[in-house]
Structure 1
Amino acid sequence: MTIEKRGIAMPEPSFSRRSVLGGIGVGAFLAGMPGIALAKEMGTSFPGLTKIMNDYVAEKKVAGMQAVIGFGQAAPQVISAGTLALGGDKLVDSNTLWRLYSQTKPVTGMATMMLIEDGLISLDQPLSDIFPEFADMQVLLDPEGAIDNVEPAKLPITIRQLLTHTAGLGYTIISKGPIQKAYLAAGLSTGRASRSPLPGFDRGTPTPDIMTFMKRLSELPLVYQPGTQWSYSICHDVLSAVIEKVSGKPLDEFLQARMFGPLGMSNIGYHVPADQAHNLADNYAPFAGSLIPIDPGATSIFLDEPPFAFGATGLVGTASDYDRFLQMLLGFGTVDGVQVMKPETAKLGMSNLLPETANTKGTWIANHGFGAGGRSGLGTAASPTGTFGWGGAAGTSAFVDTVRGFRAGGYTQYFPSNRYPFQSDFPKYVYADLTGEAEVGAGNTSP
């Protein structure tokens, strides 16, 4: 295994919104992994993954790490390394809380699928049926150009497009030029990173309540024509508003009633109670061979209630709680006899829901499908059938493989997520151990 030597200066991390909150996919998701059948009862200690995690901690690239991997509906295996804070004495354990960031998106996506199952909305229903202010939207002629250089939208925004980032909406972590500035000025940025200013990270105007958020968003032009382009966006924050408007419950209450409560996910939510701050891992920025704390658990910004339950980036929870969500997906809506959605609903949510008209070339999901908030397999060597998952901005990664019958999540806390290959390569580490192809001591944890 090639380990970065201590004392070698690392380049200053870029705290752009894209690098801090947006570099969060699962990389080349399962690319090149053999399509073999894995026995659910197969026992493994995951030696390759364990070695990689221990090396990250030993080399002080991160303070702590955790992986949770399970077959079928069986209890998962948990691998932990390191501490919640660099140099601290509190070990990572089952109570450790992780900032999940965009691993929130599949949760919001499946909550939306529940409303579709209930018959309260439909997959191709226009958003304007629910929020009339989104009728007759305008679209930028140049995604980075003047916000008054527009043309009428040719199609309405739909629920399908919101689930798959094809609605044409912008994102302060992705968009450039005048539309990014307009989003920031309107408070249309829902990611939280630190109480302290971060270099190159414009906080913008404070985020308003959810209905004001929707009104302000409707008054700005779209970046792309709906249904034409995959572009990472605030779609899942819009879905938070859809869920609240249609169900009569804010997203956090809806999730508690329909998913978290029934599944026994008791340590996940949109803010960390003060009496649980001691369980929240510190978040760091790797810089010049050191780790700079940017959001210590004891004083974290996640101790505050957010303006609303962000559908895109807001959740904080234990790895075991998120594993319950993955277990539900693997069980096609059911865990331990408790059904929270029908099998056909779960399967649909994990399938490729992209509009046929959407271009994905050159994006994070090129040659992949995209379902209800996560990348989905297309049945190719690079995109195996039955795979579904997404990652988070602080280096986390989670997925299910419904064909081979297992689920896996990898957790740590560092910005930006592409500073190390852990997030992008986590699925490869898991598959390499399961197929017997991992070589303990082989691999590369260097940037």
Structure 2
Amino acid sequence: MIESRAALERVLDRRMLLRLGAFAGVSAALMPRLAFAAAEPELLPHVRTLVDKWVGPGKFPGMVASLGLPGKEPEYVAKGTEGFLNLDPMSDGSLFRIYSMTKPVTGMAAMQLIAQGKMALDQPLYDILPRYRHMQVQNTYDGSITDLHPARSPITIRHLLTHTAGLGYAIIQKGPIRDLLNKKGLTGGQVSRMPLPDIYSGPQAPSLEAFADRLAEVPLVYDPGTKWSYSLGLDLMGRVIEVVSGKPFDAYLKETIFEPCGMTRTFFQVPAADAGDLTTNYGVMGGVFIPIDKGENSVFLDPPPFPMGGSGLVSSPRDYDRFLRMLAQYGTIGGTRVLDEAAVRQGTSNLLPPGVAGPAMDAAPADFGAGGRVGIGPEAGIYGWAGAAGTIGMVDMAHALRSQLFVQFMPPQSLDLLPEFQTALKADVLSLLQVKPA
């Protein structure tokens, strides 16, 4: 099983450290030459070699990677099986826990409501959820939950989308505020049927409405609009969406994004008929793979306490590529308009409040859009995010490229797979450009 809270904190660290611009170092001036790569018979030779290296006895049972060129179906590299004891072959239809790759989906759903004029980026959250009118803020980060001051400005929709609302996160915070979040059932995530008392303790809030009401009672860790801090903002956005749209959040996603995109294998609860395609998630300790959530009896087969807009989706490589392809085509796919072009353009651009820096740490500095990292400098135009169990999804908005990795293990930094994947993917893109890596 996972090593208590510290292990999951490291999961989140990797998620924030990932260079979601997998094409980092490929200059924008070179990228248009990808038009000449359309006839290439093999797009991912380096990634294929990587997958061959990492799949097999004592390693991963299987994984899927993909690269999609503008307007084309992606090339998939799929190898192995859906689990060590599940011998169904891994494929673009296999189901994976995508965790925080849910956030861009929720973010884009919110941007559609903004494009339609049903809410505004800088609208105060209390206009929609009145309980958030008078928020209190810790005087000391992760310190006392009674030594507080009134928030210096209201939380806005922009803040929720960009992790700048000052909301906490049980897998980030320490001390009494983490205990309070857990006590109120505000964890916003599921991992396993196995008890994980040092990570998630106590029953989760029973509905999005209850989740939102309880979160309003928890002090903020920063004043709104002052700092990027990974948070429950996209989970709370789920409640905003259902209030503004007048529809249950999960129903709104299905109607607005999943069905028009042709995403038939994306769920908050995996149907029993699809359970056989759900991969196994592994905890990795000392290089040993220990199953923590098997497909056949996964916690994701049960109805979730509420649809978690920050971490709750299970999806397939095929489905998520369709979401990325729709974004790359500014809201359309297969001749169907899914989202307004304005929603996609704005959501994949920098939405951070003025003067606030996005996530950086050991990765390249970045901006932040609607639930996803926005590359700057050599990574300009790249939007995406990663999941806590090793999945990555990104789209280069400037050149309509999209790329993915689907695998299931926690914590992702326990092995060198993810940085090796990014190196291999970069080499393949440079090869398509007929440019030698520096």
Q: TM-score range by the shorter chain?
A: over 0.9
Query: Structure 2 length as normaliser, TM-score?
Result: 0.92
Q: 1:19 aligns with which of 10, 35, 38?
A: 10
Whether the 8 Å CA contact 1:319–1:411 is kept in 2: the answer is yes
1:352 corresponds to 2:347: no
Q: Distance in 1 between matches of 2:7 and 2:198?
A: 5
**Residue type at the aligned position of 1:415:** M
Q: CA deviation at 1:215?
A: 1.2
**Which residue in 2 is equivalent to 1:151?**
149
**Which residue in 2 is equivalent to 1:436?**
431
**Which residue in 1 is equivalent to 2:19?**
28
1:210 corresponds to 2:202: no
Q: CA deviation at 1:287?
A: 2.1
Aligned residues: percent identity?
Answer: 40
Cα separation, partners in 2 of 1:148 and 1:376, compared to 1, 3 Å: same
Whether the 8 Å CA contact 2:21–2:383 is kept in 1: the answer is no
Q: Distance in 1 between matches of 2:419 and 2:237?
A: 26
Unpaired runs of at least 5, structure 2: none
RMSD over aligned Cα atoms:
2.2
Whether the 8 Å CA contact 1:57–1:65 is kept in 2: the answer is yes
Whether the 8 Å CA contact 1:120–1:246 is kept in 2: the answer is yes
Q: CA deviation at 1:198?
A: 3.8
Whether the 8 Å CA contact 2:351–2:370 is kept in 1: the answer is yes
**Which residue in 2 is equivalent to 1:163?**
161
Q: Distance in 2 between matches of 1:422 and 1:284?
A: 14
Q: CA deviation at 1:22?
A: 6.0
1:420 corresponds to 2:415: yes
Q: Distance in 2 between matches of 1:279 and 1:102?
A: 20
1:397 corresponds to 2:392: yes
* 1:144-202 Cα distance to aligned partner (Å, 9 max, x none): 11100001111100011100000000000101111111000000011100001247433
Whether the 8 Å CA contact 1:16–1:201 is kept in 2: the answer is no
Q: Distance in 1 between matches of 2:63 and 2:359?
A: 33
Whether the 8 Å CA contact 1:171–1:232 is kept in 2: the answer is yes
Cα separation, partners in 2 of 1:18 and 1:373, compared to 1, 3 Å: same
**Which residue in 2 is equivalent to 1:6?**
none
Q: Distance in 2 between matches of 1:221 and 1:321?
A: 37
**Residue type at the aligned position of 1:436:** S
SS at match of 1:58: coil
More deviation, 99-108/284-293:
284-293
**Which residue in 2 is equivalent to 1:385?**
380
More deviation, 196-205/181-190:
196-205
Q: CA deviation at 1:434?
A: 1.5
* 1:179-238 Cα distance to aligned partner (Å, 9 max, x none): 111000000011100001247433333232111111111111100000011000000011
* 1:34-57 Cα distance to aligned partner (Å, 9 max, x none): 212142451233111111111111
**Where is the helix percentage greater, Structure 1 or Structure 2?**
2
**Residue type at the aligned position of 1:300:** S
SS at match of 1:80: strand
SS at match of 2:137: strand
Show the 5 A alignment for 1:64-83: 64-83=62-81
Unpaired runs of at least 5, structure 1: 1-10, 443-447
* 1:68-89 Cα distance to aligned partner (Å, 9 max, x none): 2211121111110111111542
